Chain A
Amino acid sequence: MNENESSLEQLVHHDATHECGGFGAHKICVRVVGVASLPTRYGDFRIVAFWNNRDGKDHVAIVKGDIVGGQDVPVRLHSECLTGDALGSLRCDCRDQLEASLRKIDELGRGAVLYLRQEGRGIGLMNKVRAYALQDRGLDTVDANLALGFRDDERDYAVAAHMIFSLKLRSIQLMTNNPNKLAQLAEHGVQITGRLPHILPANEHNRFYLATKGDRSGHLGLGSKPRLVEQSDRVLVEGMSTAED
């Protein structure tokens, strides 16, 4: 067991009796309950399993390198997408984003992907399929969610904030195009020292979806309209520079 493995293992013992007031409106509290190696087609990682006090959803972190106590740790928050991640759906860019983030973190030698069990932007798989059905009738992804009584994006990153603190990350660089993730994590006291843009080329099926994320949900660099390149953004993901130029 190397030093990194040892420090991650120690989190399990440290969290065995952890209880706190919780994060966010739902006062969610998590514990690190298990750590194991996870060789993947994108590189060798460690997987960290979290218990939470609100529901039976088991969130995980896929970790590379020695991150415990680290600063400026590259972190990607990935929300579960069964259709994209597991089935290879082309309606969204979820699988591409997940794969690109794992490859990049492997390349960087340290970082974490927090895999959050909030399917369909937090509306659940069943309602995501209903939203797809409305999209098949001509609504865009935002209007479909609104028609079903949801907000554009129901995701709550309080659990991610707690996971970041449980991993003892002193500061992070967030791989995201989503300003809402940045804002929510900052509200929960996560130190964010930089944003790492995470833009991937569209395909013929998800082009409209990605444009809607940019135009209506404010995702940076995804809109159909031209945007100024953010000079302070460091390009990390392949294809990024051409996408924002």
Chain B
Amino acid sequence: MDHGVAFLHGSDASFLAAIDALDAPKLEGWPFRIEGRGVPCQPDTYTARDRRVALTEGISSFAKHLADGLDIRTGVTVARIDGERVFLDDGASLAAPHVVLTLPVDPMAELLPVLPELDTARTILGWLGTVPCLALLAAYDLHAAEPRFDVLYPDDGPLQVIVHDSSKRERPRHRVLVLQAGVRASRDWLATEPQAWQALMLAEAGRLLGSWAASPSWVAAHRWRYARFPSGAGLGAPLVIRLAGGRSVSLAGEAFDAHGGVQGAFLSGERLARRLLAPTH
């Protein structure tokens, strides 16, 4: 089940090839039934040029596929970076003459080493930002009413989208909806107790879909403080800042592509990799 990104979409050939290379069940063209007059977080999501693909094992399978073969360490926190080494919060450190940061821009700015060569990059990061998103996965008995949409963008109210997640699956065990609050509501509720905003989101689902939607069998809440980059305001390319001694710090991710989204993050990383691996580097 997908709390966040519900499906992939894009038009770039290399991005689509990466999706095709993923050996996992796909639902080509999902969502099929789109309702509401609200605006998706990426307004160009439904242009004819973009291909849409849902992954029935979850969007995270795409990230896992891309990460296949990499040495990834989980469960550790990077405390700081000084341009030569990466220091972990357990006291260990790693030699890192080349560092690539692909975090949301706010924590990225916090981790950026304090070096004069990075002053301009720090200024640029100060112009960017990340918006939060509160998400609630709500599961219902299969006897509950079946929504006639795959995604609904409500005309008004605090919810940006309701995703009928179980419609991706042939034989779901539950009826599952994912409610995502809009930016304003997410900001307003971010500091409040999860029970409070869960109740508000379920009440809104009940208003929009019927009283059944306000009473799920179970829920799982997720609070993304740094959910996504505002669409359309990104830089045009990843940044590579050369430091003395042949070292470098690079910044990539959704904010470093003109169009953003998952495709933008992918393309940003691909462009950065090409630059870092170019013979002149």
Contact = CB atoms under 8 A, between A and B. Distances in A.
Contacts of A41: none
A134 interface: yes
A170 B237 CA distance: 37
A154 interface: yes
Interface in A144-176: 147-150, 154
B127 to A, nearest CB: 6
Nearest to B272: A149
A149 B275 CA distance: 11
B258 interface: yes
Contacts of B256: 149
B235 A149 contact: yes
B238 A130 contact: no
A139 B119 CA distance: 12
Contacts of A130: 124, 127, 235
A127 B258 CA distance: 10
Contacts of A225: none
Interface in A121-149: 123-124, 126-127, 130, 133-134, 137, 139, 147-149
10 contacts: A126-B233, A127-B235, A130-B235, A134-B120, A137-B120, A147-B124, A147-B239, A148-B124, A148-B239, A149-B239
Interface of A: 123-124, 126-127, 130, 133-134, 137, 139, 147-150, 154
Interface of B: 120-121, 123-124, 127, 233, 235-240, 256, 258
Given A126-B233, A127-B236, A134-B120, 14 more contacts: A127-B235, A130-B124, A130-B235, A133-B127, A134-B123, A137-B120, A139-B120, A148-B124, A149-B235, A149-B238, A149-B239, A149-B256, A150-B236, A150-B237
